C-alpha cells in the first residue's frame, strides 16, 4: 500500500494521517512494523520533570516527511541532521497534516539520546473549523474517540505524546468541550505511554476566538491547566514574561516560551541573535520552545551546515541546561546518522552519501572554549559509521595538558569498569602528544579507588589503569585493546571504584615534553566505551523464534 511503501522503490516510509476520517479509521496493521520505534527512551538525570527550565525543539522543515521518511535510510547528500541532544529536553516533529506521526528515524535518534519525541495534532483554516465542530461540539463520545485514537497511535508507534495546535475559531459548544478533551487526552496519553506528554499551543481563547496571546493569561489558562504545558506564540515582550511567571506559579517550567529562529514578526531575536531571546526567557525561570532551528540549514545553506550548526548551538549553550547519562553501557562511535562514506574498523568500506538517523550514535557534549578548543564532526575519516569527533585546540605555554569533557554522567559507579578508546592524532608531529581518558566522581568522603587503603582523590579525578591486553574471558569482546588499524590507536583501561558516583568522562590530550610555546593539536575520536565489568561477564539472552516476512529477492 502506498501509505506504507514508497511507490517508486517499494521501500518502507513514515507517514501522516489527513482529516478526521483517517484518524478515526486508523488501526494497527502488519505493514506498520517498520514504523514502530525500536529504541526505548534512555534514562537521564535529572529526570525530565525536575524543577528547572526545559528546552523544547520544534522541527518544522519544508512541510516535513522529506528524506527522513525513508525508514531504512536514503542516499541523500548533505542532509539535515540534529545532534545537540544533550542540550534539549523535548523534540516535536511538526507539519501541517492533521495528524503528524514523527518519522520513526527521529524517534529512534531522540530516544537513544534520552529525549522524548512528540507528534502534532493540528487543525487550521475553514477545514480545521469543520473538523473541530465535528469532534468537539459533538460531546464526550466524539472527543473521547479522538483522544483514544491519538493515545493509541502514540502507544503503538512508541513515541511520547502530542503538541495540540488548534488554529481556527471555535463555536461556543466546541470551545466549552476543549478543556475536557485536553484533560481526557492527557489522562489517556499518561496511561498509555510511560512519561507521555501533551502540550497546548497558544492559539484559541476561552471564548473561541483565534488570537495569539504570546503569554499565559486568564484567556488561555484553562487549557494550560488541562494538560502538561503551554507553548506560547513568538511575539512576546518582557512584561509578558513577567506576567506569565506570576500566573504560572509552581508550574513555571511547564510554560515553553516560543522563539522563532526565522525571526518572523516582532521578536526579540532570531538567527544568530536567538541567544538574546533565550537570555530573557531564562531570567524569568521559564522554559523555551525553539521553533524551526532548521533555519541554519535552510537559510545558510547545506555547504557549511555542520560548522554553522555548531556555531548556532554553541551561542545558546550557556542558556541550555544539559542532561546526564545515567545508565551503562555507554558506547558510541559519534556517528551523526549520515556520511559521505561508510567506515568499518577505520576502513572506507563504501563510498557514497547516506542518511539514516536511526543509525545516529549517542551524541556527546560539544564544548567550545573560545580560541582554546573546538569540538566538531569529521566526515572525512571515521572508525565506524559516517563520522568521527574532531578535537582541535592548543595547549597553553607552560601547561602540560588540556581536558575535553565528552559526557556528563550521573549514576553509582559499579565496582569495576572497563573503558576503551580509539583515536587518531593528526598534524605535523602526532608523536608529541598522548591521549587518555579521565573519569571524575561526585565529591564524597566515601569514594575510593581500588583497595580501601588508597586515599581518596582530592578532586575526584581518576585516570583508569592502562591495560596492554584484555583480561582473560573478555578477550573477544575487548578485542579493542589491540585492534587499532588504518592509523587509529586503540587503548583499553580498567578502573576499580568503591562507593563512588560517576560525574564526567573526559579525554585528556597531553604533550610528551613541557614547552614554553603553545602547541596546537588535532585529534579524531573514533569510539569510546564505558562498560560495567559484571554485566559483561553475564552471557547475553538467547534469541528465540526469529521470523522473516515480506522478502523480495532481486
Q: What is the pLDDT of residues 57-91, one digit of tens each?
A: 999 999 999 999 999 999 999 999 999 999 999 99
CA distance 28 to 311: 42
Claim to verify: residue 356 and residue 416 sit in the same structural domain: yes
CA distance 283 to 431: 48
> Who wins on pLDDT, 473 or 292?
292
pLDDT over 90 (residue 125): yes
255 within domain boundaries: yes
| C-beta of residue 111 within 8 angstroms of C-beta of residue 43 | no
User: Which among 324, 351, 376 is the end of a domain?
Assistant: 324
Claim to verify: residue 224 and residue 307 sit in the same structural domain: yes
Claim to verify: residue 302 and residue 391 sit in the same structural domain: no
- pLDDT given at position 454: 47
Confidence of residue 477 (pLDDT cuts 50, 70, 90): low
Q: Could you list the residue range(s) of the whole structural domain that residue 421 is in?
A: 330-537
- pLDDT given at position 534: 86
Q: Region 204-218: what's the mean pLDDT? A: 98
Q: Region 539-553: what's the mean pLDDT? A: 82
292 within domain boundaries: yes
- pLDDT given at position 474: 64
pTM (whole model) above 0.85: yes
384 within domain boundaries: yes
Claim to verify: residue 286 and residue 253 sit in the same structural domain: yes
The DSSP secondary-structure symbol of 51 reads S
pLDDT over 70 (residue 345): yes
Claim to verify: residue 171 and residue 221 sit in the same structural domain: yes
Is the bond leading into 549 cis (omega within 30 degrees of zero)?
A: no
344 within domain boundaries: yes
Claim to verify: residue 249 and residue 395 sit in the same structural domain: no
- pLDDT given at position 351: 93
Mean pLDDT is lowest, of 268-282, 454-468, 479-493, for 454-468
39 within domain boundaries: no
- pLDDT given at position 481: 59
CA distance 71 to 449: 46
Confidence of residue 52 (pLDDT cuts 50, 70, 90): very high
User: Which among 324, 346, 362 is the end of a domain?
Assistant: 324
Claim to verify: residue 113 and residue 250 sit in the same structural domain: yes
| C-beta of residue 268 within 8 angstroms of C-beta of residue 280 | yes
Claim to verify: residue 360 and residue 316 sit in the same structural domain: no
Which CATH number fits the domain that encloses residue 253? 3.20.20.80
Claim to verify: residue 307 and residue 336 sit in the same structural domain: no
Tell me how many domains the chain contains: 2
User: Which among 265, 295, 324 is the end of a domain?
Assistant: 324
42 within domain boundaries: no
Confidence of residue 371 (pLDDT cuts 50, 70, 90): low
- pLDDT given at position 535: 84
- pLDDT given at position 480: 53
Claim to verify: residue 320 and residue 366 sit in the same structural domain: no
Express each pLDDT in 320-341 by its tens digit: 999 999 999 999 999 999 999 9
Which CATH number fits the domain that encloses residue 376? 2.60.120.260
Claim to verify: residue 302 and residue 351 sit in the same structural domain: no
46 within domain boundaries: no
Is the bond leading into 237 cis (omega within 30 degrees of zero)?
A: no
66 within domain boundaries: no
pLDDT over 70 (residue 370): no
Mean model confidence pLDDT for the chain: 92
Report the b/e string of 429-443 with b at 16+ CB within 10 A.
eeebbebbbbbbbee
Claim to verify: residue 270 and residue 419 sit in the same structural domain: no
List helix spans (H) across 124-171: 125-136, 140-157
- pLDDT given at position 540: 76
**Residue 419 bridge partners (DSSP):** 493, 530
| C-beta of residue 318 within 8 angstroms of C-beta of residue 288 | no
Express each pLDDT in 478-529 by its tens digit: 555 556 678 899 888 989 988 889 999 999 999 988 888 888 999 999 999 9
Amino acid at each position: 500500500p502506498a501509505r506504507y511503501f514508497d511507490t517508486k522503490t517499494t521501500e518502507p516510509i513514515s507517514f501522516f494521517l489527513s482529516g478526521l476520517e483517517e484518524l478515526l479509521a486508523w488501526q494497527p496493521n502488519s505493514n506498520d512494523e517498520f514504523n514502530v520505534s525500536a529504541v526505548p527512551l534512555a534514562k537521564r538525570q535529572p529526570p525530565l520533570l525536575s524543577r528547572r527550565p526545559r528546552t523544547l525543539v520544534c522541527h518544522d522543515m519544508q512541510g516535513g516527511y522529506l528524506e527522513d521518511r525513508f525508514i531504512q535510510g536514503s542516499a541523500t547528500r548533505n542532509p539535515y541532521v540534529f545532534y545537540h541532544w544533550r542540550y534539549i529536553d523535548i523534540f516535536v516533529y511538526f507539519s501541517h497534516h492533521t495528524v503528524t506521526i514523527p518519522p520513526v528515524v527521529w524517534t529512534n535518534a531522540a530516544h537513544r539520546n534520552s529525549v522524548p519525541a512528540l507528534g502534532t495534532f493540528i487543525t487550521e483554516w475553514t477545514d480545521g473549523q469543520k473538523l473541530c465542530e465535528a469532534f468537539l461540539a459533538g460531546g464526550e463520545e466524539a472527543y473521547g474517540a479522538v483522544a483514544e485514537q491519538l493515545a493509541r497511535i502514540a502507544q503503538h508507534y512508541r513515541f511520547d505524546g502530542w503538541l495540540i495546535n488548534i488554529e481556527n475559531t471555535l463555536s461556543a459548544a466546541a470551545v466549552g468541550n476543549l478543556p475536557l478533551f485536553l484533560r481526557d487526552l492527557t489522562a489517556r496519553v499518561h496511561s498509555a505511554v510511560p512519561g507521555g506528554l501533551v502540550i497546548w499551543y497558544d492559539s484559541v481563547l476561552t471564548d473561541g476566538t483565534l488570537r495569539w496571546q504570546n503569554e499565559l493569561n486568564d484567556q488561555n489558562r484553562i487549557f494550560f491547566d488541562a494538560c502538561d504545558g503551554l507553548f506560547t506564540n513568538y511575539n512576546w515582550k518582557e512584561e509578558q514574561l513577567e506576567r506569565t511567571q506570576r500566573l504560572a506559579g509552581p508550574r513555571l517550567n511547564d510554560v515553553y516560551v516560543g522563539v522563532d529562529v526565522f525571526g518572523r514578526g516582532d521578536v526579540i531575536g532570531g538567527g544568530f541573535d536567538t541567544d538574546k531571546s533565550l537570555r530573557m526567557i531564562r531570567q524569568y525561570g521559564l522554559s523555551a520552545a525553539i521553533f524551526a532551528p532548521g533555519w541554519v540549514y535552510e537559510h545558510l545553506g547545506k555547504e557549511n551546515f555542520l560548522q554553522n550548526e555548531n556555531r548556532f548551538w554553541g551561542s545558546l549553550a550557556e542558556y541550555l541546561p544539559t542532561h546526564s547519562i545515567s545508565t551503562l553501557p555507554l558506547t558510541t562511535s559519534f556517528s551523526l546518522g549520515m556520511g559521505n562514506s561508510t567506515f568499518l574498523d577505520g576502513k572506507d568500506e563504501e563510498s557514497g552519501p547516506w542518511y539514516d538517523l536511526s543509525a545516529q550514535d549517542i551524541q556527546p557534549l560539544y564544548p567550545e572554549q573560545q580560541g582554546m578548543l573546538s569540538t566538531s564532526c569529521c566526515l572525512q575519516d571515521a572508525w565506524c559509521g559516517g563520522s568521527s569527533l574532531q578535537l582541535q585546540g592548543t595547549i597553553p605555554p607552560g601547561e602540560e595538558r588540556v581536558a575535553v569533557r565528552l559526557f556528563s554522567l550521573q549514576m553509582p559507579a559499579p565496582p569495576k569498569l572497563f573503558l576503551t578508546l580509539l583515536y587518531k592524532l593528526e598534524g605535523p608531529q602526532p608523536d608529541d602528544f598522548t591521549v587518555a581518558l579521565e573519569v571524575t566522581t561526585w565529591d564524597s568522603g566515601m569514594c575510593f579507588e581500588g583497595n580501601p587503603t588508597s586515599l581518596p582523590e582530592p578532586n575526584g579525578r581518576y585516570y583508569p589503569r592502562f591495560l596492554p591486553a584484555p583480561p582473560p574471558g573478555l578477550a573477544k569482546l575487548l578485542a579493542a585493546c589491540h585492534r587499532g588499524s588504518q592509523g587509529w590507536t586503540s587503548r583499553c583501561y580498567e578502573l576499580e571504584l568503591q562507593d563512588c558516583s560517576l560525574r564526567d568522562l573526559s579525554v585528556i590530550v597531553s604533550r610528551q615534553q613541557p614547552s614554553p610555546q603553545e602547541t596546537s593539536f588535532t585529534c579524531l575520536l573514533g569510539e569510546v566505551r564505558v562498560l560495567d565489568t559484571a554485566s559483561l561477564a553475564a552471557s547475553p539472552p538467547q534469541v528465540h523464534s526469529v521470523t522473516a516476512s515480506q522478502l523480495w529477492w532481486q
